[in-house]
Chain A
């Protein structure tokens, strides 16, 4: 396991890169961006002390789905590779639990959001296609469409 230091504005990893390690934040604040180097850059989340990120790289060996930047100077991260993973958690078993908790919280939130959209779709389906959509329902549709166009398939809750 390596400890790595970053200053404000430094990139931890970029969207599209292959990565095979995850990170635990010892100190500092980070920002997660979709399409960071483009005009369409949008911040997806902020991370802080105690948060884990990048598990997808370690666990699934997929390309990074977002860019992570340090927001503060003297940001300190534990960089955990697959080979050091078991050793790292053997020394810190409570951290495995925390990591699973974070993953499962993200899963729960995403599932909730997903079901809400399905509910809206269900309400739309019940209405006659040829009639104008009920204004309250239409407002919900527009809000969802707006969200969709903004994040456009980028790494939303896992990176």
Chain B
């Protein structure tokens, strides 16, 4: 396990970087950004002491989906790789349980959104087939999910 120390504003990892580790914050704060330092920059989350980030890198080894930046001078984090994970779990089983909880909550949330988006499509088709005008509710849903898509392609733009 490597202990790392960062200056305020220092980038811990960048969107698109190869990833094989997760981090647990020992001190300070870390911000997570989509499209960091572009016109479409958006802060997705911030984490403090005792919290973890970058787990998806460890779990799946996929490129980083966002940029992590130290928000305070002297932010400290432990970097944990797959080989060290078993030890990490032994020392912090509750932390791992929380991680599982987070993952499962996200899965539930995403599935709910997915089903709602499919429902919106279903209503759109029906409305079209009946030759009716789209209801206010339907227009709002179409707008909402269009924005989700636009937000996604926005954050995928290269710097």
Contact = CB atoms under 8 A, between A and B. Distances in A.
B146 A141 contact: no
Nearest to A87: B93
Interface residues of B, number: 47
Interface in B78-135: 82, 85-86, 89-90, 93, 96-97, 99-101, 103-108, 110-111, 113-115, 117-122, 124-126, 128, 133-134
B12 interface: no
Contacts of B120: 121
B56 interface: yes
A31 to B, nearest CB: 19
B64 to A, nearest CB: 14
A129 interface: yes
B122 A104 contact: no
Contact of A96 (B89, B113, B114): B89
Interface in B13-37: none
B150 interface: yes
Q: For chain A, give the interface size range.
A: 35 or more
A53 to B, nearest CB: 12
Given A101-B60, A104-B59, A141-B124, A122 B146 contact: yes
A149 B122 CA distance: 8
Interface string A123-159: 0110001000100000001101101110101001110
Nearest to B105: A60
A42 interface: no
Contacts of A133: 128
A108 B98 CA distance: 19
Given A103-B100, A118-B117, A93 B86 contact: yes
A103 B146 contact: no
Contacts of B146: 118, 121-122, 125
Contacts of A84: none
A94 to B, nearest CB: 7
A113 interface: yes
Nearest to A117: B117
A111 interface: yes
Interface string A84-125: 011001100110110111011111101101110111111011
B44 to A, nearest CB: 14
Interface in B135-150: 142-143, 145-146, 148-150
A145 B125 contact: yes
B104 A59 contact: yes
B60 A158 contact: no
A141 B119 CA distance: 11
27 contacts: A55-B100, A59-B104, A60-B108, A90-B93, A93-B89, A93-B90, A96-B89, A96-B100, A97-B85, A100-B99, A103-B100, A103-B107, A114-B113, A121-B145, A121-B146, A122-B146, A124-B142, A125-B143, A129-B133, A141-B121, A141-B124, A145-B125, A149-B122, A151-B115, A156-B111, A156-B114, A156-B115
